[in-house]
Amino acid sequence: MVALTQLDCDVPGPLVSDGISVVIDGIVFSLQRHGGISVYFHQLTTRLLRDEVPSYLTLEGPALQSLPETGLTLCKVQRTARLAERYRPARVPPGGSLFHSSYYRLPDNPALPSVVTVHDFTYERCLRGPRRWLHSAQKFAAIRAAQAIICVSEATRDDLIDIVGVSSTQQVYVIRNGVDANFKPQAQETPARPFVLFVGQRGGYKNFHLVARAMTLLPDFELLCVGGGALGSHELHGLPRSTRDRIRHLGFVTDPALNQLYNQAVCLAYPSSYEGFGIPVVEAMKAGCPVVCIRCKAVIEVGMNALSIVAPDASALAERIDALASSDIRDPLIRTGLEVAGNYDWERTYRETLRVYRAVSGP
């Protein structure tokens, strides 16, 4: 079948201005309905459009989510996806001065300079088998071909050096993620029952089982879960019925609804043993919600002294959650969290990334 191409802009030829014309490979918008990587590239593309930086956004249909707006200087190039599209070199329109894939693809023009953003090494640190091998092969190829590598944290940069390595011809930048302005303290009604919030995936290294077990020691608390798919029976196996009845899954919620939950929660429980960054940690802090975690290099880098760090033990987790119901302990952590969260802003992320684009494009 011949792939269908649609150019959603009014520019008849290549977009070039001041030596920079960015080609964003939007493959991630065809791989996930929502997620941190999608947010990252949505924030970048909308700002490229706002600042009239000549750019293309290439999309492989069908898309699974709403896409960034386009205009005169941000052209949307839409095509029908090929077989195994996510693993194939991206089809690059003419005129681009650099290439930035949203999910570890190479451009079909190997002479085009490329930038790669490395979000984490979860597959390499936490998974085994063919799924990891295929992912790592694609990721490593994209990293090794890139002129510039952006890491979202120092922890991820350290993993990059340890797992893949960096050549003398490559530049590595640590540019941290931002957080949406939707997350902020707001006056809220006190919930009928105090609750702990768990956001995102729950399997494996996320250590959801620690929080579920902690709930057996917190009979006055509920546990509300957002995202990560429906709760499976295996996740609640072995828990008393009285505990299972206090654990609820809310599904996917909008950012304003999630902000409301952060504002009402006693804390965000985030006992992940591995992260590349940990966006929910910053969201929670920015909304005035304390965070309880275990020792995880990236999470501690991001949350700093605003975190409540406990041993990876259900009893220790329960004890700290219970203590956070006291305003004497809670309020200082909220103030510190708001201060720390001020360091994370998508505008700063974009500006630093734009400097990388200009460095790669050259004079």
Q: CATH code at 211?
A: 3.40.50.2000
Which residues are CB-contacts of 282 (< 8 A; sequence separation ≥ 6)?
177, 179, 302, 303, 341, 344
Residue 341 to residue 313: CA distance in whole angstroms = 27
Is the full-model pTM beyond 0.85?
yes
Statement to judge: residues 163 and 54 lie in one domain:
yes
Statement to judge: residues 152 and 214 lie in one domain:
no
Over residues 111-124, the pLDDT tens digits come to 999 999 999 999 99
Confirm whether 188 is domain-assigned: no
Given pLDDT bands bounded at 50, 70 and 90, which one contains residue 11?
very low
Over residues 214-250, the pLDDT tens digits come to 999 999 999 999 999 999 999 999 999 999 999 999 9
Statement to judge: residues 69 and 170 lie in one domain:
yes
Statement to judge: residues 246 and 306 lie in one domain:
yes
Residue with the larger pLDDT of the pair 17 and 314: 314
Over residues 66-114, the pLDDT tens digits come to 777 777 788 989 999 999 999 999 999 988 999 999 999 999 999 999 9
Statement to judge: residues 125 and 200 lie in one domain:
no
Residue-range definition of the domain harbouring residue 142: 5-178+346-361
Q: Shortest CA distance to 215 belongs to which of 65, 101, 321?
A: 321
